[in-house]
Structure 1
Amino acid sequence: MKKVLGIFIMLLFACTSRDKNEIPTLSVDLHSSDVSFEDLFSKIEIIPLETSDSCLLVDVEKIVHVDSLLYVFDSRRPALYVFDEKGAFVRQISRWGDGPGDHLLISDFMVDKNQQTIGLLSPNGYMGIYDLCGKFIRQDVLPAKPNYYAVASLSPDRWVFWSCVREDEDGITVVGKDSLNTVSGFWRNDRILDMGSLNPFYEYHDNVYFATAYQNTVYKLTKKGLYPVYCWDFGKDGINDEMLQKYRLIENEGKRNDELIKDLSDGTLPFCMKFHRENDLYYYVSLQKGLGTVNKHINVFYRKQDGSTFVFEKLAENLSITPLLFTEDYIVSKLNFDDYTCLRPFLSEQDYSKLLSREEDDNPCLVKFYFRKGGKNPGRM
């Protein structure tokens, strides 16, 4: 079986190499350059999320913006919170429990613009469907899988789901919205490698894209399969196929996981790709070096117009960026309490006073970074 798997891996790598010759390759020097705020952005706005007894957030993981509302997913609480664009609390969707419309666990959510509904995905294989006002409609039982971690609306009649499964199972499942039957499935890979990023989908121009934590190629998803559209090339500082082959050949899954954690901790494995996005201006990826939130988080922007790259842990003005929402016009990032003073040069007296009045245990304050259209200075090539 391992011999057959080894042949499959070699073929996969060969196909990946051939695909890379047919799609754009984004070459990036990962040595951080001196990137200033005005290289990428034009202005900042703050969104202080309202704090109340009925709305206490712990760990914001994902934000979706629809019709002047921010849908904020807290991975530590089984609920979705809705705020307006100024940060005022609007409503909570679902709550902890096992009754109709309740959840014990939520792994992801999506706003289905075609059906004007919200889906809250349970890793246990069902999805609660709500209208945009938060009213519970139904609970859909999904095709049997060991787990469900991510969801996206692929087309008016199809959802696509992501699961971390063994290499002989399909990690991506396309499901009919009405029938709830599997339409197609693909992506067979080592689940220990795939667990580096449990939310591998992003949307751009009404299409769904797929990218994993340790592979450089980004794919477009359709009903029938995956199609490579671009790949990252970080040179000698990046991840190559030989590194991944090393882990795949460790038969014991526990030992494979331990080896990957050790290599990521000591830098043998250079980084984990956590957040892929794009708009008409940039390709973007976030690289986490090491394990845990205290480790370096490297932002990589690749400008589509001229191939200029902007690589930084913090902007020259000491501003941190950790995107939770990436749109054509702006990024929304969570602001750390200790970084409030860094925003002083960018805010009005009124907004800065509002910021300083917040307590450390308040709900997070979000920061909206507006892109500078047309770019400014060329980054490091």
Structure 2
Amino acid sequence: MKIKRLLGVISIILCCCSCNHSSKEQTGTPVLKVDLDAPVASLNALFRKTEVIPLETSDSCLVVTPADIQEYNNIYYLYDIHTSRVLAFDAQGKFLYPIGHKGQGPGEYVYISDFSINKQQKTIYLLDPIGIYYCYTLDGKFIQQNRLMSEEHGNYNWLYSFHDKLLTFSFPRDKESYCISIIRPEDGSFVGQLWNNHSTLLNHKIGVAFYSYQDKTYFTPALFDNEAYEITPNEVKVAYRWDFGKNNINLKGLGLTYEEDNYGTERTLLSKAIENQTIPYLLISQNQNDKYYNANLYYGYKIRQSIFYRKSDGKSFIIGKKENDIQLRPFIFTDEYIVCAIEAKDYEKYQSVLNEKEYQKLMSRTEDDNPCLVKFYFK
């Protein structure tokens, strides 16, 4: 299963820590220095209020594994990788409608790998990895279907709205293949391609590829790359870099050559290093808002660690140290709050961080119910 699709499996929340001031390299790129071994701190250091949003459960809206959640006009659009559906819920968690339907008729799809909301056009796009995408209104009415106009087909795994265009990320066939394409949504034509001449091996090991902040779009590539990049119509340029000191991952020690002829052997070697934790963590997603940079690390598929790096003074707060900790994976990251999803097996962890009213929302749920969303409001 792709790493991205594991994102909805783990539960959530937090503890905190560490400090270090950011610095800049000679190029002016911000360097975010974080000690991953620093002690935890209180949830209260980051958030002033926590709210539980139970998602309605019925045969028409069952959710198994949330892989992505996006919000627009107080509606949560949730992509479930297990059922390959996008479902809309209101701010209280009431089910509203699906976006499209599975099938083989007009406006229907067999499988989707990602979705994106275009707020300018007030439309929503669903992506089939073979290069077909479907456009719907925000209330789920079918508009049109297009195929990406490329000689290379398949392996399209991420879709993202980019002003009045779309971005896709596809796994490369070789080192010369472009991974990022800029698409005209109305007809699927390519107006730009970016990010080639990079390791094919590492570009098959990608976390969540894109996020936005202040009208800029960011690209966060390989799971072992501490650099985040800004995407413009013409280039991909370094925006900032994480520095975990002695805990930085050093891939050179694995004996990787990144040569195309060694791809199969080295992909197996890299996968084993992840499995046996020779590579201790994977950097699976990033975000930022006015106050914080955020990075989310995955340790051995069991522990999720979320880092909040405060922009004003370089202090960092680390959340999730042990398997029995409350662990956090933000699906939605705004200036005011973040939104996560949690499963029934993790509900008891929240007793110490929720007031009685909010905790009872969790305790009233059963294991067969849909997950709950948890909304954390920043101080």
Q: TM-score range by the shorter chain?
A: 0.7 to 0.9
Gap change, CA 1:80 and 1:217, over 3 Å in 2: same
Cα offset, 1:19, TM superposition: 7.7
CA RMSD in angstroms comes to 2.2
Tell me what 1:96 maps to. Answer: 102
Question: Is the 1:68–1:84 contact (alpha carbons within 8 Å) kept by the matching residues of 2?
Answer: yes
Cα offset, 1:238, TM superposition: 0.9
- 1:53 equivalent to 2:59? Answer yes
Runs of 5+ in structure 2 lacking a partner? Answer: 1-23
Runs of 5+ in structure 1 lacking a partner? Answer: 1-17, 373-381
Tell me what 1:332 maps to. Answer: 339
Between stretches 207-216 and 250-259, larger displacement belongs to 250-259
Whole-Å separation in 2 of the counterparts to 1:341 and 1:260: 36
Cα offset, 1:353, TM superposition: 2.5
TM-score normalised by length of structure 1: 0.86
- 1:356 equivalent to 2:356? Answer no
Whole-Å separation in 1 of the counterparts to 2:26 and 2:105: 49
Tell me what 1:267 maps to. Answer: 277
- 1:323 equivalent to 2:330? Answer yes
Cα offset, 1:275, TM superposition: 1.0
Q: Higher relative contact order by CA 8 Å / sep ≥ 6: 1 or 2?
A: 2
- 1:231 equivalent to 2:238? Answer no
Whole-Å separation in 1 of the counterparts to 2:346 and 2:28: 43
Tell me what 2:316 maps to. Answer: 309
Give the helix-richer structure, 1 or 2.
Answer: 1
Gap change, CA 1:359 and 1:154, over 3 Å in 2: same
Cα offset, 1:154, TM superposition: 1.4
Whole-Å separation in 2 of the counterparts to 1:202 and 1:245: 32
Whole-Å separation in 1 of the counterparts to 2:72 and 2:139: 12
3-state SS of 1:246 partner = coil
User: Over residues 28-50 of structure 1, what are the superposed CA-to-partner deviations in whole Å (9 max), with x where a residue is unaligned?
Assistant: 11114222111111110001000
Between stretches 121-130 and 212-221, larger displacement belongs to 212-221
Amino acid at match of 1:69: I
Q: Of residues 70, 73, 90 in structure 2, which corresponds to 1:67?
A: 73
- 1:33 equivalent to 2:39? Answer yes
Between stretches 54-63 and 232-241, larger displacement belongs to 232-241
3-state SS of 2:107 partner = coil
Tell me what 2:155 maps to. Answer: 147
User: Over residues 305-348 of structure 1, what are the superposed CA-to-partner deviations in whole Å (9 max), with x where a residue is unaligned?
Assistant: 10001123259x94321222211111111223233223234444
Question: Is the 1:49–1:88 contact (alpha carbons within 8 Å) kept by the matching residues of 2?
Answer: yes
Question: Is the 1:250–1:256 contact (alpha carbons within 8 Å) kept by the matching residues of 2?
Answer: no
Q: Of residues 167, 172, 176 in structure 1, which corresponds to 2:184?
A: 176
Question: Is the 1:78–1:94 contact (alpha carbons within 8 Å) kept by the matching residues of 2?
Answer: no
Question: Is the 2:320–2:326 contact (alpha carbons within 8 Å) kept by the matching residues of 1?
Answer: no
Cα offset, 1:178, TM superposition: 3.5
Percent identity for Structure 1 against Structure 2: 36
Whole-Å separation in 1 of the counterparts to 2:31 and 2:359: 42
TM-score normalised by length of structure 2: 0.87
- 1:161 equivalent to 2:154? Answer no
Tell me what 2:209 maps to. Answer: 200
Whole-Å separation in 2 of the counterparts to 1:252 and 1:118: 40
Between stretches 187-196 and 226-235, larger displacement belongs to 187-196
User: Over residues 224-249 of structure 1, what are the superposed CA-to-partner deviations in whole Å (9 max), with x where a residue is unaligned?
Assistant: 11121101111121124635882514
Amino acid at match of 1:132: L
3-state SS of 1:305 partner = coil
Whole-Å separation in 1 of the counterparts to 2:199 and 2:320: 30
Q: Of residues 345, 348, 353 in structure 2, which corresponds to 1:341?
A: 348
3-state SS of 2:331 partner = strand
Gap change, CA 1:164 and 1:363, over 3 Å in 2: same
User: Over residues 284-324 of structure 1, what are the superposed CA-to-partner deviations in whole Å (9 max), with x where a residue is unaligned?
Assistant: 1111123x3xx222211111010001123259x94321222
Question: Is the 1:129–1:136 contact (alpha carbons within 8 Å) kept by the matching residues of 2?
Answer: yes
3-state SS of 1:362 partner = coil
Whole-Å separation in 2 of the counterparts to 1:244 and 1:115: 47
Tell me what 1:107 maps to. Answer: 113
Gap change, CA 1:31 and 1:250, over 3 Å in 2: farther
Amino acid at match of 2:177: E
Tell me what 1:43 maps to. Answer: 49
Cα offset, 1:371, TM superposition: 1.2
